[in-house]
Amino acid sequence: MKLDGLKDYFADSSNKLDTTMTLVFLFYMYLRVSYRENDVNIILPSVSEIKTIEQMTVEWFSLVILNVVIITQMVLKICFFCKVNDKFGMLVQLIKTCISDVIPFTCFLMIWIVAFTLIFIFLGANNDVGQTYQHLSEFTGYFLLMWENSIGNINPPTYQFWMNTLKNADI
């Protein structure tokens, strides 16, 4: 592309398609983020359209996943276009290497988070998780608590379960 210019680059139909796809995704995300109806961001469906909690969960979750996929595709395509420039190409390669090197650490971290989640559940620590993470299962609440602890938002454990057990046992 450097030698022949943009004219030769756009002569290939696949390059036209890629460029068009990127512009469409950028325009789609611009509309989804900027258009507001009754001060509610339109990325998520209107609450008035949702009849049951199951429908809300499925629709909201599917839209969130769809938006994440589209944003990921946009970023990957922008990185692909940045490879044309030497300096940006080196930056894209650095980012790709960093992400591939972080994957094993992330798997290792998730294993430890699950392990500590199970330990906290078995020990009965932090029984106030239900109040903090309402409408979530016990495991999910403890998992989110362990995630917060792992990224530095340390919450000291509470032992209300054990205090209540000792109080009821009259020891």
Q: What is the pLDDT of residue 140?
A: 87
Same domain, residue pair 79 and 34? yes
Same domain, residue pair 45 and 74? yes
Q: What is the pLDDT of residue 97?
A: 92
Q: What is the pLDDT of residue 106?
A: 94
Q: Which residues pair with 41 in a beta bridge?
A: 36
Residue 140 lies in a domain: yes
Q: What is the pLDDT of residue 25?
A: 75
Q: What is the pLDDT of residue 114?
A: 95
Residue 60 lies in a domain: yes
pLDDT for 141-162, tens place per residue? Answer: 889 889 988 998 877 777 777 7
Q: What is the pLDDT of residue 77?
A: 78
Q: Which two tokens stand for residue 161?
A: 């379960």
Q: What is the pLDDT of residue 171?
A: 58
Could you give the CA distance from residue 83 to residue 91 in angstroms, rounded to a whole number? 8
Could you give the CA distance from residue 127 to residue 158 in angstroms, rounded to a whole number? 7
Residue 93 lies in a domain: no
Range of the domain at 13: 1-84
Q: Which two tokens stand for residue 39?
A: 């001060």
Q: Which two tokens stand for residue 2?
A: 């450097």
**Which segments in the chain show pLDDT lower than 70?**
1-4, 13-14, 17, 31-63, 127, 129-131, 170-171
Q: Which two tokens stand for residue 140?
A: 């999910």
Could you give the CA distance from residue 160 to residue 166 in angstroms, rounded to a whole number? 10
Distances (CA, A) of 109 to 61, 103, 105, 151: 25, 10, 6, 10
pLDDT for 81-99, tens place per residue? Answer: 888 888 888 888 898 899 8
| pTM given for the model | 0.56
Q: What is the pLDDT of residue 55?
A: 58
154 SS3 class: coil
Element (H, E) at 39: none
Domains held by the chain: number? 2
Same domain, residue pair 110 and 61? no
41 SS3 class: strand
